[in-house]
Amino acid sequence: MTDELRRREQDPGHDGVVDPVAREGVPIHIEGRATDASKTQARRAQEVVFDVRGVTVSYAGVPAVRDIAFDVRAREITALIGPSGCGKSTMIRCLNRMNDLIPGATVEGEILYNGENLYGPRVDPVQVRKLIGMVFQKPNPFPKSIYDNIAFGPRVIGMKGDMDGVVERALKRAALWEEVKDRLKENAYRLSGGQQQRLCIARCLAVEPDVILMDEPCSALDPIATARIEDLMLELKDRYSIVIVTHNMQQAARVSDMTAVLMPEVRDGDQTIGHIVEYADTGKIFTNPDNKRTEEYVTGRVG
């Protein structure tokens, strides 16, 4: 995986080796960590995909989130929840370097992806975004056929071979195949909103990612389409690691294994900075959270 993150055309004189970071036994500084011994033990045995350590993200020198620390385990769904302006989207966009595209955005601290610094000097952001796909709030299919939407990514990265097979496999994994298999040449805009979002998920799957990031993927969908996407997420987690940002607490409660609660704190007048107040097993967050602010947020007393 390590090599996959790097630019394809490296300086031939460079050995391309990055020192592995010793990670065993590093305590993760998180308030209100789940105390359930069996769950914690079971999770320890699982592979860590992201290890986020002391991350502060600033826009034009103004911090938006500070000291963020949590880990994302393989084949789990990790939710980031919190009120508007707490930095959920800022944080998830760091996980595939989408913030690089915003002028003046800086990321301090470390985000280790499969043990390697995601922001290391030899890491290729394009490769990062191939391995770590993203689905956005509003479905954003290309103005092309259903088939071409799926085939676009594989063609761009030079995938060869059975493109029909690639398209079919991606659509099947996104639970859309049965609904569109007889109209693959139709324009993707003719699909419903929920189908368009599943198409975007299929498009993301077509380039064989490792992680899927979802930034409020259901906020534009009706309850049934939302339930379909949630069912799909639960199916996909057998194969992929998923991080979801949602302002819908119940959605995080329904689908996620782990939940990070971000809350804004006011600094310098009306400036707010988000930080994690609690990161724990989702069941704990919604039945018996350790942190008072988590309790107030999930019970609707503050927001």
Residues that bind other proteins (CB under 8 A): 224, 227-228, 230-231, 234, 250, 253-254, 282-283, 286-287
CB of 177 to other proteins, least distance (A): 13
Cβ neighbours around 133 below 10 Å, total: 23
Structure token digits, residue 137: 């709030």
- What gap in Å lies between CA 298 and CA 301, rounded to an integer? 8
Of 32 and 264, CB closest to other proteins: 32
CB of 67 to other proteins, least distance (A): 28
Q: What are phi and psi of 39, to 5 degrees?
A: -65, -40
**Dihedral sign for Cα atoms in the order 61, 62, 67, 72:** negative
CB of 17 to other proteins, least distance (A): 43
Of 67 and 230, CB closest to other proteins: 230
CB of 296 to other proteins, least distance (A): 15
Of 148 and 179, CB closest to other proteins: 179
CB of 255 to other proteins, least distance (A): 8
- Is residue 290 exposed (0-12), middle (13-18) or buried (19+ Cβ within 10 Å)? middle
Question: Are 291 and 31 a contacting pair, CB within 8 Å?
Answer: yes
How many helices (H) and strands (E) are present in the chain, helices listed first?
A: 11, 10
Of 206 and 253, CB closest to other proteins: 253
Question: Are 212 and 242 a contacting pair, CB within 8 Å?
Answer: yes
**Dihedral sign for Cα atoms in the order 90, 73, 31, 109:** negative
Output DSSP code: residue 248: -
Of 93 and 228, CB closest to other proteins: 228
CB of 223 to other proteins, least distance (A): 9
Of 140 and 250, CB closest to other proteins: 250
Question: Are 277 and 262 a contacting pair, CB within 8 Å?
Answer: yes
**How far out from the chain centre does Cα 165 lie?**
26
CB of 249 to other proteins, least distance (A): 10
Which candidate, 191, 195, 183, 194, places its Cα nearest to that of 218? 194
Of 3 and 36, CB closest to other proteins: 36
Of 10 and 287, CB closest to other proteins: 287
Q: Amino acid identity of 265?
A: E
Q: What are phi and psi of 136, to 5 degrees?
A: -100, 175
CB of 91 to other proteins, least distance (A): 23
